[in-house]
Structure 1
Amino acid sequence: MTVSVVIKTLNEEKNIARTIEFALAALPEGQGEVIIADSGSRDRTVTIASGYPVQIVQITAPARPSCGLGPQLGYQYAQHEYVCLIDGDMDLDPEFLPEAIAFLDRHPRTAGVTGHVQEMMLDNLEYTRRVQRNAPENRIGSIDRMNGGGLYRRRAIEDIGYMTDRNLHGYEEFDLGIRLRDGGWKLHRLDRRFVSHYGHSINSYRLLVRRWKSKYLFGIGEVLRAATGKPYFHRMLRELPELRLWAVVWAWIVISLVIMLALPGLLLPLGVVVGIFCAVVVLMSFRKRSFSLGLYTVVAWFFHAVALPVGYFRPRRNPRSWIESRPVGEPDEESSAQPDNATEPHLVDPGRASG
């Protein structure tokens, strides 16, 4: 039983060599393949990766980068029974794959297994500080999604039609998880390390703007749109509590507009609206024990809430369609041709979809 390790990349020249070396070393008994699924890097990512015994595939027009595109891009070229997803700034633990494969062998209805993502934070130009994600969805045992990647059973992905939705700029792991669970499959987190993640720090407000420009914030609306009309739609509403928060924020926005229109003059309604905003900031500052964190939290609420309808009404492409791409090193004119396995049920002709 062999593994296809898919490394998602977009401008990862600083980390890609180390990531590839760890992935190659982690292949059980050296068997399997490593696929670089590149979403159009403009730095030296592809050049560096070309020096290793890996397959490199890169998107071509009209495909556009998104969080959901990278995993699907790698999956459509993967050849083996198990598919392991990691990012281009992650080091795959050398002992993870054998243990994960053994777990899947013992649990035939489990579609995927992952472990802990060990964060390596940059401190004084060195990665020295280590923290572990503690979000509820990262608990040990049965989980609803595999944030950060993991090892998937190919048969389970074929059962639900495709791996990740190319239209999603966020929440692609949740979307994959809920589709698998709706199909009767399970996901599991082992109490062991899966990868070390070499992230980077950035000013919080700059990060908000960056996530808006990259369309990452649109992901919540996009995943809501993708689930509309599906059997698991109401289940998704229950499992994404942030949707309720954004609904409250939108109610706040509507009430503020009503106040501005209903009260006489300008100063009085403006004062009421600003007063409500300040009161909420004070409350959150008390809860966060920091005024700057309290203010940032409230500002971030508005960014996310406004992004939701923008994401929901974005046009969608058929998530089952072949992602326009080519293996690096082959002529461009061959890039639009689909390989023989493109006729499998989970890969269909490119085309537009309304939902």
Structure 2
Amino acid sequence: MIKISPFPVDIVLPCLDEAEALPYVLERIPPGWRAIVVDNGSTDGSPDLARDLGAYAIHKPRRGFGAACHAGLTAATADVVCFCDGDASLDPGFLPTVAGPVLDGTADLVLGRRRPTSRGAWPVHARLANLELARRVRRRTGVRVHDLGPMRAARREALLALGLTDRRSGYPLQMVLRAANAGWRVTETDVPYRPRTGRSKVTGTWRGTWQAVRDMSAVLAERPAPVPARGARLAGGVR
């Protein structure tokens, strides 16, 4: 039986101790869209706060960014799913711009290209690592992507059909690689990037960044997996 969602878009928000940031994030969810907060082991009451603020909160005991994102994807029911960090570094109010090309059928996967609003918004080591990974993606796939950031939008059933397997930091990269392999139209649009609320679990330290690079390098080393083609050409990213 096909489930019909009352929501046009579901927004997956991975969460690990984000109680300080959640009020800002959830108050900026577009009207009529649903926030799915995926708690990944918080000890600060984040999931209860999320429910109090009107979000749908679920728990994913397996740690990992990809584990949380995929749990949110499988819990979603809307035709279109967006992903966004829950640390207030990205403004969910910009999600209609990101999801727009997916909703109107002109793109299959849209990535939010982060544009720092201040010098301290994006640590240099994390930014350099991201630039190098984006360069390797362009070289491998031909998709002119410049950022592998967490704000993105695509259709739920198509994402599930990609068969994503990474459950760590390589999840967003694997999504782009498999989408490109399937012939998806992949594009990007600029979004402002603010200093996050609280300390980053990944890019806040060299160790966290190095682990993320290792996770993504392992994904890049995978042989292209056969995935269902969408019969669509690739769209170049926004320069």
Q: TM-score under structure 2 normalisation? A: 0.69
The counterpart of 2:219, out of the listed 214, 223, 232, is 223
Encode CA deviations 1:149-194: one digit per residue, 9 max, x unaligned. Answer: 21122232133234x622xx3222111111111111122112x326
Identity percentage of aligned residues: 20
Cα separation, 1, equivalents of 2:176 and 2:146: 6
Contact 1:38–1:58 under 8 Å retained in 2:
yes
Cα separation, 1, equivalents of 2:110 and 2:152: 6
Alignment of 1:1-355 (within 5 A): 2-23=8-29, 27=30, 30-60=31-61, 64-90=62-88, 91-94=90-93, 96-108=94-106, 110-119=107-116, 135=131, 137=134, 142-143=144-145, 146-162=148-164, 165-166=166-167, 169-190=168-189, 192-193=190-191, 196=194, 198=196, 207-209=205-207, 216=212, 218-220=214-216, 222-223=218-219, 227-228=222-223, 230=225
Give 1:217 deviation, angstroms: 5.4
CA 1:37–1:129: 2 relative to 1, 3 Å = same
Cα separation, 2, equivalents of 1:84 and 1:33: 10
Contact 2:39–2:59 under 8 Å retained in 1:
yes
Encode CA deviations 1:238-263: one digit per residue, 9 max, x unaligned. Answer: xxxxxxxxxxxxxxxxxxxxxxxxxx
Secondary structure at the residue paired with 1:76? helix
Secondary structure at the residue paired with 2:108? strand
Contact 1:4–1:32 under 8 Å retained in 2:
yes
Cα separation, 1, equivalents of 2:56 and 2:199: 30
Contact 2:102–2:153 under 8 Å retained in 1:
no
* Residue identity matched to 2:65: C
Encode CA deviations 1:41-76: one digit per residue, 9 max, x unaligned. Answer: 11221232131111100024xxx2112111101111
| Structure with bigger RCO (C-alpha 8 Å, 6+ apart) | 2
Cα separation, 1, equivalents of 2:113 and 2:197: 15
Contact 1:146–1:187 under 8 Å retained in 2:
no
Secondary structure at the residue paired with 1:13? coil
Cα separation, 2, equivalents of 1:131 and 1:66: 21
Give 1:116 deviation, angstroms: 3.3
How many residues align? The count is 205
Secondary structure at the residue paired with 1:43? coil
Structure 2: state its 5+ residue gaps. Answer: 1-6, 228-239
Query: In the alignment, which residue of structure 2 is the partner of 1:311?
Result: none
Q: TM-score under structure 1 normalisation? A: 0.49
Encode CA deviations 1:187-209: one digit per residue, 9 max, x unaligned. Answer: 2112x32654516679xxx9234
* Residue identity matched to 1:219: D
Please say which structure displays the higher CA radius of gyration: 1
Contact 2:113–2:147 under 8 Å retained in 1:
no
Cα separation, 2, equivalents of 1:69 and 1:218: 17
User: Over aligned residues, Cα RMSD in angstroms?
Assistant: 3.5
Contact 1:145–1:173 under 8 Å retained in 2:
no
Cα separation, 2, equivalents of 1:150 and 1:177: 10
